Amino acid sequence: MFIYLHKFANPGRFLKVAIPVKKISGFLSILTIFVGLVFALFFSPPDYQQKETVRIMYIHVPCAWMSLMTYSFIFFTSTFFLIWKFPIFLLMAKESVTIGIIFTFSALFSGALWGKPTWGTYWVWDARLTSFLVLFFIFLGLKLIKDTFSYSSRGDAIFSYLALIGGVNLPIIKFSVDWWNTLHQPASILRTGGISISNEMLLPLFLMALGFLFLFTYTLLLSVEIKIKEKKIMFSGKNRSKNNV
């Protein structure tokens, strides 16, 4: 595995693979999200209890999934950076932070809109919502470190270790509805009894989640590409100034 990953530690080799993947992901994200929205708005039936309000699920749930997935990605890429010291891993972890903030905020905001007609309030301090809010603050903390220590090896280490510590919150979010009595509904898909929602709702839900995954891939690779090119320009500029001196 180390030998395989070592090939892509070089930014030039990484971009040769990343740029085509970015283009494909961008196209697939537009296509999948469009089809998912069509099914969610026009073909998915209303819920027998929540009526049309349930359609918020097609934004809220994929955003929540992507928030957790994004932080998991940051956790593992930070771990790989601490083990192998490949800058490309740290760069991908750092460029994922802003994306994670957007997904987490979208999940919290759409959840509040969903909660008002369902629970009668926009917010309750139950375990799932509170732990998800903690995740949002962890993302903000990582962004603060990223922006404060832009070109510091000490800042890179602080960022990576905080990402590892924050990973403790992920199982708390996942199992909070099982460990504590909360208003938040339990899992409907990844559960021991099997999937508990109809296929008419499951299809657009997975299409939206897949579309957001492609969108994450496109946005991340675009950000990494821009950062690598910026560093190349800065490095070449420094070399020119040294030669002039």
Question: Domain locations in the chain?
Answer: 49-199
Q: How far apart are CA 85 and CA 226, in angstroms?
A: 21
**Choice between 175 and 91, residue whose per-residue pLDDT is larger:** 91
Q: Smallest Cα–Cα separation from 96: which of 148, 30, 142?
A: 142
Task: Give how far Cα 204 sits from Cα of 103, 124, 196, Å.
Answer: 18, 28, 15
pLDDT-based confidence at residue 142 (cuts at 50, 70, 90):
very high
pLDDT of residue 176: 84
Q: Which of 40-44, 48-52, 220-224, 234-238 shows the lowest per-residue confidence on average (mean pLDDT)? A: 234-238
Backbone angles phi, psi at 122, to 5 degrees: -75, -25
Predicted confidence band of residue 183 (pLDDT cuts 50, 70, 90): low
Per residue in 27-62, pLDDT (tens digit) is 999 999 999 999 999 999 887 778 888 899 999 999
Nearest CA-CA partner of 75 in 4, 158, 171, 165: 165
Structural contact between residues 112 and 122, judged by C-beta atoms closer than 8 angstroms: yes
Structure tokens at 14: 């990484």
Amino acid 179: pLDDT: 74
What is the pLDDT at residue 200?
A: 87
- Residue 12's pLDDT band (cuts 50, 70, 90): confident
List the beta bridge partners of residue 47. 51
CB-based contact 5:83 (threshold 8 Å): no
pTM score of the predicted model: 0.90
- pLDDT score of 68 more than 70: yes
Residue partners of 176: CB distance under 8 A and separation at least 6: 126, 127, 128, 131, 182, 184
Radius of gyration of the chain (CA): 20
Burial tier of 57 (Cβ tally within 10 Å: 0-12, 13-18, 19+)? buried
